[in-house]
């Protein structure tokens, strides 16, 4: 049954031109970043691996921002536009509803990733880790985005308001992104170090650094960075499960 929700959601993305706006923003940001890396006097002096690492930050950062904004209204929109009631009057299960929405939202990330691939290829011209780097951006990006989506869906079921969900999600995103931008000197502090090794975003960038600088292109070589991202995904899944239980208990319509 989830496939009908997925198809409906994908059609909504196309029909309402929402996705086109996202893709345009993405293309402009990636073009601008790549252009600067390759033509700016100072940026073009950067080592190619550092250039790629910065580009990966731009790609994943842009995707996280877009997914956060988009996913914040994916579930809550059904409550605000009062379409949830008619959907749940059918035999549609909550599991199928969430799965359909999750896959639709994930497809937005896949599209953003596909837009990013040509830019990666151009910036990484001549590098022998291009393929591995692309695979790692896809794998780590997918895990990170999936974790964020589940967390945002969990928040959506609790608040049922897109404004509150978006604000909360952006605060969490900011709280995770900021420590990831700390310099390595700052991370020598025990607290900063702890934040760094537990922060999923930080671990994604550390893993990509590991691929580009230390040529660790195997999964086992990156396990210590992949593991915290996996834990984040499981925690987000558990949170979503908890909030859907609360949702089931309180009913599709919260109040009369």
Partner 1 sequence: MNIAVKTENLSKLYGQTMAVDRLSLEVKNGEFFGFLGPNGAGKTTTIRLLTGIIRPDEGTAIIQENLPAGSIEAKLIAGVMPESRGLYEWMTAREYLSLFAHLYSVHNAIKATDEKLSIVGLSHEKNKRIGAFSRGMKQRLCLARALINKPKILFLDEPTLGLDPKGQEDIQILLKALNADGVTIFYSSHLLNEVAMLCSRIAVIHHGKLVAQGTISQLQEQTGLTNSGLKDIFLKLTGD
CB-wise, 41 or 81, nearer to partner 1?
A: 81
CB-wise, 86 or 189, nearer to partner 1?
A: 86
Location of structure tokens 């608040």? 159
CB-wise, 11 or 128, nearer to partner 1?
A: 11
Residue 18 burial (CB < 10 Å; 0-12/13-18/19+)? middle
CB-wise, 1 or 172, nearer to partner 1?
A: 1
CB-wise, 234 or 242, nearer to partner 1?
A: 242
| 199 neighbors 227 (Cβ within 8 angstroms) | no
Q: How many residues belong to the chain?
A: 256
Residue 147: closest CA among 166, 130, 169: 169
| 254 neighbors 169 (Cβ within 8 angstroms) | no
Residues 217-256 that bind partner 1 (CB under 8 A): 249-253, 255-256
Could you tell me the two tokens for 52? 């790629």
| 87 neighbors 97 (Cβ within 8 angstroms) | yes
The interface region with partner 1, picked from 62-70, 84-92, 126-134, 195-203 by CB under 8 A, is: 84-92
Which of 36, 46, 69, 87 lies at the binding interface for partner 1 (CB under 8 A)? 87
| 197 neighbors 207 (Cβ within 8 angstroms) | no
Residue 51: closest CA among 39, 64, 34: 34
**Does residue 45 bind partner 1 (CB under 8 A)?**
no
Give CA–CA dist 137/222, Å, rounded: 13
**Does residue 99 bind partner 1 (CB under 8 A)?**
no
What is the torsional sign of CA 111, 114, 116, 118?
Answer: negative
Residues 200-219 that bind partner 1 (CB under 8 A): none
**Does residue 4 bind partner 1 (CB under 8 A)?**
yes
The interface region with partner 1, picked from 11-19, 115-123, 187-195, 206-214 by CB under 8 A, is: 11-19
For partner 1 (CB under 8 A), the number of binding residues is 27
**Does residue 84 bind partner 1 (CB under 8 A)?**
yes
**Does residue 92 bind partner 1 (CB under 8 A)?**
yes
Which of 39, 42, 89, 183 lies at the binding interface for partner 1 (CB under 8 A)? 89
Which of 39, 81, 126, 191 lies at the binding interface for partner 1 (CB under 8 A)? 81
Which of 42, 82, 184, 191 lies at the binding interface for partner 1 (CB under 8 A)? 82
**Does residue 10 bind partner 1 (CB under 8 A)?**
no
| 201 neighbors 225 (Cβ within 8 angstroms) | no
Residue 133: closest CA among 115, 116, 145: 116
Give CA–CA dist 190/193, Å, rounded: 5
Interaction site with partner 1 (CB under 8 A):
1, 4, 8, 11-12, 15-16, 81-93, 249-253, 255-256
């Amino acid at each position: 049954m989830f496939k009908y929700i997925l198809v409906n959601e994908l059609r909504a993305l196309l029909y309402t031109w929402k996705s086109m706006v996202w893709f345009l923003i993405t293309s402009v940001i990636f073009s601008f970043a790549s252009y600067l890396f390759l033509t700016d006097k100072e940026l073009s002096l950067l080592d190619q691996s550092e250039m790629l690492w910065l580009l990966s930050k731009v790609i994943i950062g842009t995707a996280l921002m877009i997914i956060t904004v988009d996913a914040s209204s994916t579930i809550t929109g059904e409550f605000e536009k009062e379409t949830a009631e008619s959907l749940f009057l059918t035999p549609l299960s909550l599991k199928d509803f969430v799965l359909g929405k999750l896959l639709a939202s994930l497809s937005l990330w896949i599209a953003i990733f596909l837009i990013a691939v040509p830019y990666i290829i151009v910036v990484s011209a001549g590098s022998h880790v291009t393929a591995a780097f692309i695979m790692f951006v896809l794998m780590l990006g997918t895990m990170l985005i999936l974790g964020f989506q589940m967390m945002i869906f969990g928040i959506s079921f609790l608040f049922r308001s897109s404004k509150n969900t978006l604000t909360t999600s952006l605060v969490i995103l900011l709280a995770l992104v900021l420590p990831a931008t700390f310099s390595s000197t700052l991370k020598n502090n025990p607290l900063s170090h702890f934040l760094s090794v537990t922060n999923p975003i930080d671990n994604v960038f550390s893993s990509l650094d590991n691929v580009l600088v230390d040529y660790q292109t195997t999964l086992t070589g990156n396990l210590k960075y992949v593991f915290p991202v996996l834990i984040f995904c499981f925690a987000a899944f558990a949170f979503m499960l908890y909030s859907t239980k609360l949702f089931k208990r309180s009913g599709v319509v919260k109040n009369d």
